[in-house]
Chain A
Amino acid sequence: MKTADSKHPDDAEWMLWLYNESDVEQSAFLNSHYAECDHCRCRVDRWKTTLAKLSSPAELPLDSTDVTIPTWMETSAGHSSKSIAVVPRRSVSSTQLAIAALVVVLAFFTGRSFSTQPDLEQLRTELKSELQSQLKQELNLSIQSEIRQLRTGETDLVPLIQSESGRVVSATLSNWVQKNSEHEKQLESVLTGILDNQVNLRRDLETLAIEAEAQILKTRRELLRLSAAGNSDPAQLLDGGATDVLPGNSNGREKEF
């Protein structure tokens, strides 16, 4: 068995090569390796055989124009012609092809020569009606879209309503502020009156207090004078009699003054 000297490519590299997706350099290397290495060729051939046994894409409900079959599948040894549906099973000879082409050409010219002239008027009326219906549909659609646009235009009213309500609210607010200021003024005048009364009251009280103090001093002095005149201890007299001078604590001596 002949084997290549170089390292064997891995499965991923072979897969890319199998589906013609490896780059040029890699492809060249793998081609030469495939030709030289029996081990790898055997492995890859087994893969080819297995893949050829899978149902081909053409057998499934797929658009056949989208299907591209790798080249190796078409030339896979001994299997492709039987198992893949897209590969023709029977070879068609060139004579058969020529006959078929001849028949097609003859049929074409025969058809051309025997066919009647197309009815232009009928075609025109058909085309006209078709165009009219199509135009109607398009017009309907555009009208509907315009109606939809108009409906969306109703949203323009919202800012108007908002501005109007804002004006009403501001007028109400200014009225309220005006009334409030009047009330404030009234309240201020009342407060000023109360304050004046308090000031007057305080002044009266202070006057009273000063007068009372002056009276007390006067009384003390009188007491001192009296004590001096009667040779009694003035301090004792003062200590014992200070409270007696207070209003509401009246006794006989107060009556004397």
Chain B
Amino acid sequence: MTIPPTNSKPIFQTSVLADWTDEAVMLRVCEFKDTVAFGELVWRWQSRIQVLCLRMTGNWQDAEDAMQETFARAFSGRAQFRGESRFSTWLWRIAIRSSSDICRRRRPADGLETVTSVSNDPDPSIAADNLERRDAVATALDRLSEDLRIVVTLKHFQQLKFREIADVLGIPVGTVCSRMAEAINQLEESLKSYQIKERES
């Protein structure tokens, strides 16, 4: 029996993958079903995806679920990534879809548990102010429609360019900008009560 020619793959380690672009790593995941490479992508993107999911769902638990679902969907649907678009665009889309699904599945009776964060400020009065502001912002964001919330989250909290947001959502740049303006107008209305309170204090 003849031994076939060796076509052994190189042994990849996370340190090697660190220099690769997201697209290159994802193509490796697609080709070899490489879980180590996918782990590298998760490590790179989890915090940003978590923030997006948090702003979209409004609470930590759902955000965690949405994040896990995002990466699970990305891995299971890896064949759909052909390297024609940027990996980030593809992943943002999945994350938005996952978050929307989680929000839709959430029972209305559960209500919205707004994002509460712990302030690290040593001054208690400033810490209280910050917490109050964050709660007000979270409530205002929750009041926005999903389309507007996505744009605000991607633009303000993820610092994406308007062009990138347009790519992710598949809409023109002008529409994204208009939605952003509309979202800010609505946020302004929602935050009025907080502003009045702040002025009084």
Give the secondary structure class of A's interface: helix
Query: Assuming A141-B11, A153-B4, is B157 touching A60 (CB within 8 A)?
Result: yes
Q: Is the CB of B11 within 8 A of A83?
A: no
The 10 closest A-B pairs by CB, nearest first: A12-B177, A11-B181, A15-B177, A50-B188, A153-B4, A145-B8, A12-B174, A60-B51, A47-B184, A15-B180
Chain A residue with the shortest CB-CB distance to B9: A145
* A19 at interface by CB-CB < 8 Å: yes
Query: Told that A10-B178, A61-B47, A142-B8 touch, could you supply 15 new A-B pairs with CB distance under 8 A?
Result: A11-B177, A12-B174, A21-B163, A46-B188, A47-B181, A51-B184, A53-B194, A54-B187, A62-B157, A63-B48, A142-B11, A145-B9, A149-B7, A153-B1, A156-B4
- Render B116-146 as a binary contact track against A, CB cut-off 8 A, 1 for contact: 0100000000100110011001000000000
| Nearest CB in chain B: distance from A42 CB, A | 13
- Render A139-154 as a binary contact track against B, CB cut-off 8 A, 1 for contact: 0011001100110110
- A14 and B184 alpha carbons, distance in the complex (Å): 12
Chain B count of residues within 8 A CB distance of the other chain: 43
- A167 and B51 alpha carbons, distance in the complex (Å): 68
Q: Is the CB of B161 within 8 A of A62?
A: no
Chain A residue with the shortest CB-CB distance to B138: A55
- A60 and B51 alpha carbons, distance in the complex (Å): 7
6 contacts between A and B (CB under 8 A): A47-B188, A54-B137, A59-B117, A62-B48, A145-B8, A153-B3
* B70 at interface by CB-CB < 8 Å: no
Within 8 A of A (CB), among B88-107: none
Chain B residue with the shortest CB-CB distance to A149: B6
* B74 at interface by CB-CB < 8 Å: no
Give the secondary structure class of B's interface: helix
| Nearest CB in chain B: distance from A95 CB, A | 23
- A138 and B129 alpha carbons, distance in the complex (Å): 54
* A57 at interface by CB-CB < 8 Å: yes
Residues of B within 8 A of A16 (CB): 162, 177
- A241 and B167 alpha carbons, distance in the complex (Å): 117
- Render A82-96 as a binary contact track against B, CB cut-off 8 A, 1 for contact: 110100010000000
Q: Which of B4, B129, B184 is in CB contact (< 8 Å) with A149?
A: B4
| Nearest CB in chain B: distance from A223 CB, A | 101
Q: Which of B7, B11, B161, B194 is in CB contact (< 8 Å) with A21?
A: B161
Q: Is the CB of A67 within 8 A of B11?
A: no
* B76 at interface by CB-CB < 8 Å: no
Residues of A within 8 A of B162 (CB): 15-16, 19, 21
Q: Is the CB of B157 within 8 A of A57?
A: yes
- Render B31-58 as a binary contact track against A, CB cut-off 8 A, 1 for contact: 0000000000000000110110010000
* A99 at interface by CB-CB < 8 Å: no
* B155 at interface by CB-CB < 8 Å: yes
Q: Is the CB of B137 within 8 A of A53?
A: yes
Q: Which of A50, A57, A149 is in CB contact (< 8 Å) with B187?
A: A50
- Render A1-38 as a binary contact track against B, CB cut-off 8 A, 1 for contact: 00000000011111110010100000000000000000
Q: Is the CB of A60 within 8 A of B54?
A: yes
